[in-house]
Amino acid sequence: MPEPVLALEAVTLAAPEGAVVFRDLDWRLERGARRHAPGGAGGGCTALLRLCAGIAAPDRGRVLLAGVPLGGQARHPFLARGDLGWVPSDGGLAAWLELAGLGHLAQQRPAVPGDRTCWAASLARAAAKGSRLWLVDRPAGGLDAASVRAAEAILERAAQDPEVTMLLVGGAWMSRFGQELLVGQGRVADGGGP
């Protein structure tokens, strides 16, 4: 059996308030697979993406990218090659400004680009760098029709590459890009769909 691009082995993750999101979760995402989780508040979809990106560390178990465990070394080879396309719901700018001690700049004029603009920029960046694994969370606040069409064009182009793997969360418009993935009650399972 070929090595999956992503594997979670016996992963347990608790939310900051202590509720268990996943317990002893085993899950694989094969190279070239495309999965779409409809999402929903509190279901664990964003937590799954954060685990897969190495932003959240499991309380137990391990996450492997291309067969190499995340964490432990200074720079994971998969990440160092730029193979991960991480598209958080807010585009990630607000969190990075805060971490950089520049959170106050979010309120300055001219304004820092909003969540939707940052999300679209993160999506474009994943495409521009030729990411092999796309982890895409729903955009904060949703998108207007023109932005959906632009995002669909980017995802459509990326999906033409058989080596690209996608894990998409939210947005009914994203469902055409992957087989349904059910995330909730501490489990991850393939559903129906394309």
How confident is the model over 179-184, as a mean pLDDT? 91
Cβ atoms of 170 and 39 closer than 8 Å: yes
Which H/E stretch holds residue 188? strand 187-190
User: What residue ranges define each of the domains in the chain, with the CATH number in brackets?
Assistant: 6-190 (3.40.50.300)
- Residue-level length of the chain: 194
- Residue whose C-alpha is closest to residue 29's, from 183, 185, 184: 183
pLDDT of residue 110: 46
Helices (H), 45-191: 45-53, 77-80, 93-99, 115-128, 145-159
Cβ atoms of 97 and 109 closer than 8 Å: no
Provide the token pair at 130. 């030729």
With H, G, I as helix, E, B as strand and everything else as coil, classify residue 118: helix
Cβ atoms of 166 and 178 closer than 8 Å: yes
Tell me the pLDDT band of 35, cut-offs 50, 70 and 90: very high
pLDDT of residue 93: 54
pLDDT of residue 186: 85
pLDDT in tens, 67-125: 889 876 667 788 888 888 888 886 555 555 555 565 665 555 444 455 677 888 889 98
39: which residues sit within 8 A by CB, 6+ positions away? 45, 46, 138, 169, 170, 171, 183
